[in-house]
Amino acid sequence: MPDPSTLFESAGIGDRVALARLLSLVERGGDESRSVAGLAFKSPGEAYTVGITGAPGAGKSTLTDHLIATGRQRGLGTADHRAAGADGPVGGGQVAVLAIDPSSPFSGGAILGDRVRMQSHALDDGVFIRSMATRGHLGGLSVAVPDAVRLLSAVGVPIVFIETVGVGQQEVAVAAAADTTMVVVNPGWGDAVQANKAGLLEIGDLFVINKADRPDTRETRRDLELMLDLTELGPWRPPIVETVATTGDGIDQLWEAVRRHRRHLLDEGLLEEIRHRRLVRELHQIVGLHLEEQIGALMETEDGRRITGAVAAGDLDPYAGAERLLSSLLSIPDDGSVDL
């Protein structure tokens, strides 16, 4: 297989197979992933990310399917923004979808996406669909997904959808790290309350009541409005959009809401701010992952094995054992000096 920088060059001029291979490297973690991340970081690109989350069965895949088409046709900006040069690349460019499924034993691989629902775009060269599972290690998804987004951005994709399969903690965190996060609920007693319980209310930049041709849509909207009333909101009050994903009803309004939220972030200078915060969070996570690896290595040293043996035998309590192990691993200088 060609090395990462050759692949990166090819992906930059539209080679989808090269892009798929790079994403596999990113997903796998390790040294090659690291060098892909470095390449991507140097050519940041301008991708805007849209997170789509909600309970299984809420209709997220069908919604995403429509959003792909709408995103392709209408893009993110408007003519005058383009003129003002404030938005970077806009309009009917490429679209990528990262479908996040931490529980899936299958990861990546399929160049055109492995989900039946998205097959309508399978022959569209402007659409790149990818399933992502966790890499082997804890916290893997929260490191792999930002890397994947950065890669897609670097090769020129202007819009990246991040769709979660469920509402697990990891998935919600990943969706919440998008520029615009939409939370999908269905009409019906308690669905909004469930979303609240799952921590979705705090992360939604906009709410979608999908299957809005069903009864109880009005009640669900009222529930959501009430809960938003009770939440401390900033200057942006998340709009609630009704859709019927199976027919495409409401998709235009939904896309318009995404554009309005993006406009809001740009106008208030918030987009840069949230992206900075996200980078710092990534830094924390990467440091954490490194330290975990170090624990493993430490346990395998001669003294690591000796201390472990003493703890196992009950001769040394686990806290004392931990202290001895760590005293060799850690040495923060008093003045905190680090070469930069």
Rule CB under 8 A: which residues touch a second copy?
34, 37-38, 41, 44, 276-277, 279-280, 282-284, 286-288, 290-292, 294-295, 297-299, 301-304, 306-308, 310-314, 317-322, 324-333, 335-340
Nearer to a second copy, 72 or 150 (CB): 150
Whole-angstrom CA distances from 51 to 109, 131, 300, 324 are 22, 14, 41, 44
With 0-12 / 13-18 / 19 or more C-beta atoms within 10 angstroms meaning exposed / middle / buried, residue 335 is exposed
CA distance 77 to 90: 5
Nearer to a second copy, 79 or 327 (CB): 327
Under a CB-based contact definition with an 8 Å cutoff, are residues 193 and 65 in contact? no
Residue written as token pair 């892009």: 19
Instruction: Please say which residue, 44 or 92, places its beta carbon nearer to a second copy.
Output: 44
Residue 303 CB, shortest distance to a second copy, in Å, is 4
CB of 211 to a second copy, least distance (A): 27
Helix, strand, or coil (residue 168): coil
**Nearer to a second copy among residue 58 and residue 311 (C-beta):** 311
Q: Which is nearer to a second copy, 37 or 208 (CB)?
A: 37
Query: Minimal distance in Å, beta carbon 321 to a second copy?
Result: 5
| Residue 126: CB minimum distance to a second copy, A | 27
Q: How far is the CB of 286 from a second copy (least distance, A)?
A: 4
Query: Minimum Å distance from CB 333 to a second copy?
Result: 6
Single-letter amino acid code for the residue at 185:
V
- Closest to a second copy by CB, 119 vs 301, is 301
Residue 28 burial by Cβ neighbours in a 10 Å radius (0-12, 13-18, 19+): middle
- If phi > 0 it is left, if psi is from -120 to 50 it is alpha, else beta; for residue 199 that is left
In the bound state with a second copy, the residue whose beta carbon lies nearer, of 123 and 340, is 340
Q: In what order do the strands lie in the sheet with 206-210?
A: 127-132, 95-100, 159-164, 48-54, 180-185, 206-210, 240-243
Could you tell me the two tokens for 329? 């691993």
* Shortest distance, position 227 Cβ to a second copy, whole Å: 20
